[in-house]
Structure 1
Amino acid sequence: MDKTNIKVDFSIIGDTLHPCIATEQLKINPQKSWVKGDDIEGRSFKRKDTCWVISTEYEESLDINEQLLKVVAILEDKQKKLIELKRTYNVDYLFGIVVNIESNEKPTMYFDSKFIEFAHDIQAEFYIDLYIFS
């Protein structure tokens, strides 16, 4: 039987910050990155922005905060650097939460105060994608 699983991405999105600069400044290697104008594999489109992404794997979970706080733990000592990058390169920060609901096992979906404070301090936005499987 499949279990509900959750993945969280943290993305730095912009046009003027090359992913190599983010990697160098944050001293974190991204799971993926691309530059505006790069080809999108398997499609006839080009990337519309530059992006640097770290993420958790899909993990069996019934609380989105488990994965969110793993990502925050990686980034929290980089908070000042993230604020500086935002100011210098006019980037956006985005937390993406992807929830695969299996067998009607719905996870707890609220935001821990530690996450709210961190997201506020770096001026991050977030989205939630829900996929329901029976």
Structure 2
Amino acid sequence: METGNSYVYFALKGDSFDTDEVTNRLGIKPTDSWRKGDKGFYKSAVEFAMWRLSTDKGKEYIQIDNLVDEIVSQLYDKIEIINDLKKQFNLDSVLEIVLYIDTNEDNSTPALGHDLKTIEFLYKTSTTTDIDIYRFNSARN
């Protein structure tokens, strides 16, 4: 059975900032990062900077909360540092959930909900959530 490529990431985004400084201050190596002006995927140069910590793609399909917890657990003790970085560099933060839904009726659909620790983290860091949903049908593969 194909499981889609669901994953979750936390990102700090801004016009222009030193992603290496974010890495050093958080003490966490990002999954990826780029600076404004770096070579883009769809454009010749990216128009903003981003530091991103992501789960592996396709690691979990049913309990998406496990992916959220994997990210939040790494960052929960860094709330003050995140807020300092956001203020210093004028950054926005987002918890992005990329969700693949299997339209095959023989398979379960994923579940998503936030526990109080996640809600507290999102609130204390003024982090928005965004959910991108894609469909696939495992019966067609």
Query: Any runs of at least 4 consecutive aligned residues in structure 1 with deviations exceeding 4 A, and if so which?
Result: none
In the other structure, the counterpart of 1:111 is 114
RMSD: 1.5
What TM-score comes out, normalization by structure 1 length? 0.90
In the other structure, the counterpart of 2:130 is 127
In the other structure, the counterpart of 2:80 is 80
The CA distance in 1 between the partners of 2:11 and 2:114, in whole Å, is 18
Say if 1:5 and 1:100, in contact at 8 Å, map to a contact too.
yes
The CA distance in 2 between the partners of 1:44 and 1:60, in whole Å, is 31
Q: Within 5 Å, which residues of 2 pair with 1:92-103?
A: 92-102=92-102, 103=104
Q: How many residues align?
A: 133
The CA distance in 2 between the partners of 1:119 and 1:88, in whole Å, is 19
Partner AA of 1:114 in structure 2:
K
Q: Relative to total residues, which structure has the larger strand share, 1 or 2?
A: 1
The CA distance in 1 between the partners of 2:16 and 2:6, in whole Å, is 31
* CA pair 44-13 structure 1, distance change in 2 beyond 3 A: closer
* CA pair 44-14 structure 1, distance change in 2 beyond 3 A: closer
Partner AA of 1:125 in structure 2:
T
Cα deviation for residue 5 of structure 1 reads 5.0
Q: Within 5 Å, which residues of 2 pair with 1:53-72?
A: 53-58=52-57, 59-72=59-72
Partner AA of 1:95 in structure 2:
L
Gapped regions of structure 1 (runs ≥ 5): none
* CA pair 9-49 structure 1, distance change in 2 beyond 3 A: same
The CA distance in 2 between the partners of 1:29 and 1:99, in whole Å, is 24
Cα deviation for residue 110 of structure 1 reads 2.1
In the other structure, the counterpart of 1:15 is 15
Cα deviation for residue 109 of structure 1 reads 2.2
Which range is displaced more, 17-26 or 95-104?
95-104
The CA distance in 2 between the partners of 1:89 and 1:109, in whole Å, is 31
Identical amino acids, percent of aligned pairs: 31
What TM-score comes out, normalization by structure 2 length? 0.86
In the other structure, the counterpart of 2:2 is 2
The CA distance in 2 between the partners of 1:10 and 1:100, in whole Å, is 18
Gapped regions of structure 2 (runs ≥ 5): none
